Structure 1
Amino acid sequence: MKKILLSLTLLMLSVAMYAQNEVTKFLGIPIDGTKADMIQKIKAKGFNYNAQEDCLEGIFNGEKVFVSIKANKNKVWRIAVIDKTGRDEGQIKIRFNKLCQQFDNNPKYYPLKETQNLSDNDDISYGMTVEHKQFEAVYYQLPYEGALNRTVWFTIGEVYGKYYISIFYENNKNESHGEDL
């Protein structure tokens, strides 16, 4: 009986330790390490590096995108995936809701709140310009243990009357926590 209890305890500890070391992944790549290493790993997935813009370009989830890598003290903490193609208000609602549906149906993610879809009554332009509203959906990458450090979220941005989705994959362990203040 002692051996069984000891085995179960060790198994639970190993699972908990694994989950604490787990970091957010983008395209199966852990968001950790140096920016140069991350660029090489994403290039290996078929993306091209644009040195002038300091970003990668390619296809992600069926869309042409820019991929930007953000680091803190030379450790990657965020991958930003930004649509290349702008849309009108109706099209961006469809794209936003489709992403919500894809994340909701993916067993690797857990939503921060249940209903994050936009309705036909949501006025994106008015909400963003007058009410300074941010239309966003927030998810955590599983496993549950330590999930607060593995945030994936997306939002709608606007440039010259066209709307774009930006998706952020974050390893919150590597972001700045005010240590330089």
Structure 2
Amino acid sequence: MRKVVLLFLMVLCGIVSSFSQEPIKFLGIPVDGTRVNFVRQLQSKGFIRNIKQGQNTFRGEFNGRNVNVRVVDYHGKVWRVLVSTDIISEKDIKISFNNLVYQFDRNKKYFSLDSIQTISEQEDVYFGILQNKRYEANYYLRPTSADQELLSTEYSNQIRKQYGDKKFKDLSEGEINKFYNETLSWSLTRLLKNHVWFMIDKLDNIIDSYQILLFYDNEANHDTDSDL
């Protein structure tokens, strides 16, 4: 068991040390920096302000559809880009959702923790929503080696802070268990910061009207714990 845990930790160290801390991008624009700068880049791609939907909402084309894009910041930094499609009928919403899942599944930039996220042909979306069922799919930016040196240094510092210069083989069982939990928490916290997810939204008071809401989130810029 000790060898298995140590092997897992060493593999996990390698994964964490290679993933990128670069912020997720929307249409090639980093979800980061000031809203003014992000909007400037968005407008350079042909998006125009959609005053009817709000001061921070823009109209343009994304993934072959006309969409509205809302830019959300927190403490002066952009952390979310919300994309909303035009109205889609109940007949087509399931197809649109599944097609988006297939696209993300094929895109090597992303990975998911869920094996199946499509909606089955037999599923009644209208009834499901009435029962408060949520149709949602989640993806995360796949690890790269762009920031390998930076993250390796940070991770090494975390180990030294807790255990000095001890090697894996010198750790006690108690230290191994503690190290395991800390490593897993530390890894997931960083790995899941760049999050893309989408869901089906039923428009209230409009018959047979749905839309897909797509979120590009940079959670590194949304540290609400600092407000406490």
TM-score, normalised relative to structure 1:
0.84
Offset of 1:179 from its aligned partner? 2.4
Question: Structure 2: which 5+ residue stretches go unaligned?
Answer: 1-12, 145-186
- Gap change, CA 1:88 and 1:51, over 3 Å in 2: closer
Match of 1:67 among 53, 66, 69: 69
Q: d(CA) in 1 for partners of 2:122 and 2:35?
A: 41
Would the aligned equivalents of 1:39 and 1:49 in 2 still touch at CA under 8 Å?
Answer: no
Percent identical among aligned pairs is 39
More helix by share: 2
Compare CA radii of gyration and give the structure with the larger one: 2
Structure 1: distance between partners of 2:110 and 2:223:
24
Q: Which amino acid in 2 is paired with 1:60? A: F
Q: 1:127 to 1:104 in 2, by over 3 A?
A: same
| Per-residue deviation, 1:114 | 1.3
How far, CA to CA, are the matches of 1:90 and 1:50 in structure 2? 28
RCO higher in structure (CA 8 A, sep ≥6): 2
CA distance in 1, matches of 2:18, 2:38: 24
Q: Which amino acid aligns with 1:66?
A: N
User: What is the alpha-carbon distance in structure 2 between the residues aligned to residue 122 and residue 171 of structure 1?
Assistant: 32
Residue correspondence of structure 1 range 95-134 to structure 2 within 5 A: 95-129=96-130, 131-134=131-134
- 3-state SS, counterpart of residue 116 of structure 1: coil
Q: Secondary structure at the match of 1:65?
A: strand
Q: Specify the alignment match of 2:227 in structure 1.
A: 180
- Deviation of residue 74 (structure 1)? 1.2
How far 1:175 sits from its partner (Å)?
1.2
1:40 corresponds to: 40
Structure 1: state its 5+ residue gaps. 1-11
- Structure 1 residue 87, shift from structure 2 partner: 1.6
The Cα shift of 1:123 comes to 1.3
Cα distance in 1 for residues equivalent to 2:39 and 2:75: 16
Contact 2:110 2:140 in 1 (8 A): yes
Q: Is the 8 A contact 1:110 1:142 kept in 2?
A: yes
